[in-house]
Structure 1
Amino acid sequence: MKVIFYATDRTENSAPVLRYAYELSSKLGAQLVVFNTHEMDPIRVMVSRPPEQIEYHVLEEQKEILATYCGKHLKGGLEGKNIKFEVVSSDSITEGIVENSKNLTADMVIIGRKDKHTERGLFVGDIGKSLVEKLSCPLMIVPNSGSNPIKKILYATDFMEADIAAIKKLVPLANVLDAKIHVVHISTEKEYAGKEQMEWFKDMLQQKVSYAKIDFKLVFSDHIEAELKNQVEQLGADLLVLLQREEKGFLNKLFHTSMVKKLEGHIPTPLLSFNQSNL
């Protein structure tokens, strides 16, 4: 992993997410790109300088403000830290994140979880769903309170081949962090051959992924969201990983309408989303 792209609204309440993003990038040996969008004021026709020149200087000034913000909230300031700052003018914050993270070949995008203190529209509505569908890399949504270092990862599987590809991409991150991956499938009582499917999936995964710190668990429940929250709490997971998939499966429900919103509000753990189309 070479580049982690963190989009911030530059508020005091999002400072813990900045620190989390920096600590994670440091452990992974990646550069942290701190990104912000700026809403340009209308430029009057009578000004003497070309609009492009004015915009350039405004964005450079905003970049300095962003650097000052980061220096204030990161221990020891910016000295010796592998951080880059990007500020752009964009009509759509979502599109700004998608376009610029792609231009910088980001390996992961991090955003803070929305809360009542957020002043702008960055984390309002289903932005997590919107971004995970458009990004060319995984998306991590982090609580604005920050979180613990990643040592326990819960991967919620639906026994799809795409899950194996996602876990294969997850393993290098887990390996660097010396974290254990707990693969969990939540099965309804009516689901046929859940245990047999788990054994099949386990065998397939072990053929394609070599990582000693993986275990498997099958749980029966008709209440997917509640049970997922329960499993996160029981395990003490530091990261919940989901796959935005194209096939129909129970985890598809997690990304329909308000489900991401519910998960964000009720699971106080960072959420990492892979998009099947990018695996």
Structure 2
Amino acid sequence: MKNILYATDYSKNSIAALKLAHKLATRMGCKLIVMHVFDPPLSLASTVSMTYVKKETRLFVEHRDKLKAFCLDHLGDEWENADLNIVVDENVSATDSILENIVKLDVTMVVVGTKGASKLKEFLLGSTTKALIRKAPSAVLAVPETSEVAQIENIIYASDFENSDIFAIHRLVKIAEPFQATIKLLHIVSGKQGQAKEQMEWFKEILKRKVSYPKIEFHLRSSEDLLFELQTFLKTEKADMLAMLEREKKGIFGKLIHRDKVMQTVSETTVPLLSFSVGAL
């Protein structure tokens, strides 16, 4: 993995995301890019006037200082030795700016914070994070503000046991390996397990030939309430991260990602959600 981009609006809900982004970058040997996007200043002056240029320049300096202070406040002594870059950008759309910098800065993962369950629809489903999940040419890690990941030991990957999963799991291994974390592949069916068991065995053989990582487990569950079963599994397995592949409304999460409930489930369990895009694999 090359660079990790953490985007913040300085809010409380982005603090946990900063700490996890720093932890990932440190253990994975990546550069951490800390980014803030501010709106263009409102001015009666022409955009080519010296007044506007001076105001704009001053805002860039102020936001760089504010971003450094934010990192120092929440990373403490770890800030000094971090392989970290500060990036400040001006754009009316934070999403557009982040997407542009993903390409420009060679980013393979974007980390953003999310609000608690009561505000989840407003933040996660209403704006930047959802747009990034759908459009980003990189993995997107959404971290609930109440998340406290001390160590990454168990990563749950919601799998449909399909070929497309293999590419996502291959990338997930690069995250799991530095922590020696166990990747638990979970597939939930609403009916009998017969056909799903056959699919799982087929997938095991394919995956064994394509991905070399000893700490991968396979779990098959049956339930008419997929969300409840998912939440139960996350709790019983003490999940530190939930990973999924955005499938354009196919598969477990493709069917659920567009409903508020699945995001609320993730937030209530304080589990960071890592999303891979099919187009970015």
Q: Measure, in 2, the Cα distance between the counterparts of 1:123 and 1:35.
A: 18
Residue by residue over 1:46-71, the C-alpha shift from the partner in whole angstroms, topping out at 9 and shown as x without a partner, is 89625345323321221111111111
What stretches of structure 1 move > 4 A for 4+ residues in a row?
121-124
- Equivalent in the alignment of 1:141: 142
- Equivalent in the alignment of 1:30: 30
- Of residues 149-158 and 13-22 in structure 1, the stretch that sits farther from structure 2 once superposed is 13-22
User: Does structure 2 retain, via aligned residues, the 8 Å contact 1:70–1:77?
Assistant: no
Aligned-residue identity in percent: 35
User: Does structure 1 retain, via aligned residues, the 8 Å contact 2:247–2:277?
Assistant: yes
Normalising by structure 2, what TM-score?
0.90
Please give the secondary structure, in 2, of the residue aligned with 1:76.
Answer: helix
Q: Measure, in 2, the Cα distance between the counterparts of 1:76 and 1:248.
A: 45
Higher helix share: 2
Q: Measure, in 1, the Cα distance between the counterparts of 2:117 and 2:143.
A: 15
**1:260/1:63 Cα in 2 relative to 1: closer, same or farther (>3 Å)?**
farther
**1:248/1:48 Cα in 2 relative to 1: closer, same or farther (>3 Å)?**
closer
User: Does structure 2 retain, via aligned residues, the 8 Å contact 1:253–1:259?
Assistant: no
Letter in 1 for 2:250: K
User: Does structure 2 retain, via aligned residues, the 8 Å contact 1:94–1:122?
Assistant: no
- Equivalent in the alignment of 2:83: 82
- Equivalent in the alignment of 2:152: 150
- Equivalent in the alignment of 1:103: 104
**RMSD value over aligned CA atoms?**
2.3
**Structure 1 residue 260 displacement after superposition:** 4.6
Structure 2 residues without counterparts, runs of 5 or longer: none
Q: Measure, in 1, the Cα distance between the counterparts of 2:134 and 2:12.
A: 29
- Equivalent in the alignment of 2:73: 72
Letter in 2 for 1:155: Y
**What aligned pairs does 1:43-54 form with structure 2 within 5 A after superposition?**
43-45=43-45, 49=50, 51-54=52-55
**Structure 1 residue 190 displacement after superposition:** 5.0
Q: Measure, in 2, the Cα distance between the counterparts of 1:48 and 1:168.
A: 51
Q: Measure, in 2, the Cα distance between the counterparts of 1:244 and 1:72.
A: 34
Residue by residue over 1:9-51, the C-alpha shift from the partner in whole angstroms, topping out at 9 and shown as x without a partner, is 1124432322221122111111111111112331232896253
- Of residues 216-225 and 47-56 in structure 1, the stretch that sits farther from structure 2 once superposed is 47-56
User: Does structure 2 retain, via aligned residues, the 8 Å contact 1:3–1:30?
Assistant: yes
User: Does structure 2 retain, via aligned residues, the 8 Å contact 1:239–1:272?
Assistant: yes
Query: In the alignment, does 2:50 pair up with 1:42?
Result: no
Query: In the alignment, does 2:196 pair up with 1:194?
Result: yes
- Equivalent in the alignment of 2:2: 2
Letter in 2 for 1:82: D
User: Does structure 2 retain, via aligned residues, the 8 Å contact 1:9–1:122?
Assistant: no
**Structure 1 residue 107 displacement after superposition:** 1.2
**What aligned pairs does 1:153-168 form with structure 2 within 5 A after superposition?**
153-168=155-170
**Structure 1 residue 266 displacement after superposition:** 2.8
Q: Measure, in 1, the Cα distance between the counterparts of 2:224 and 2:269.
A: 18
Please give the secondary structure, in 2, of the residue aligned with 1:141.
Answer: strand
User: Does structure 1 retain, via aligned residues, the 8 Å contact 2:68–2:86?
Assistant: yes
Q: Measure, in 1, the Cα distance between the counterparts of 2:115 and 2:51.
A: 37
- Equivalent in the alignment of 1:57: 58
Q: Measure, in 1, the Cα distance between the counterparts of 2:272 and 2:160.
A: 20
Q: Measure, in 1, the Cα distance between the counterparts of 2:265 and 2:129.
A: 11
- Of residues 73-82 and 128-137 in structure 1, the stretch that sits farther from structure 2 once superposed is 73-82
**Structure 1 residue 87 displacement after superposition:** 1.3
Q: Measure, in 1, the Cα distance between the counterparts of 2:123 and 2:59.
A: 21
**Structure 1 residue 196 displacement after superposition:** 0.6
**Structure 1 residue 248 displacement after superposition:** 2.8
User: Does structure 2 retain, via aligned residues, the 8 Å contact 1:129–1:255?
Assistant: no
Residue by residue over 1:94-137, the C-alpha shift from the partner in whole angstroms, topping out at 9 and shown as x without a partner, is 2222112221111100011123898xx86562543321111010
Please give the secondary structure, in 1, of the residue aligned with 2:4.
Answer: strand
Aligned residues between the structures: 277
Structure 1 residues without counterparts, runs of 5 or longer: none
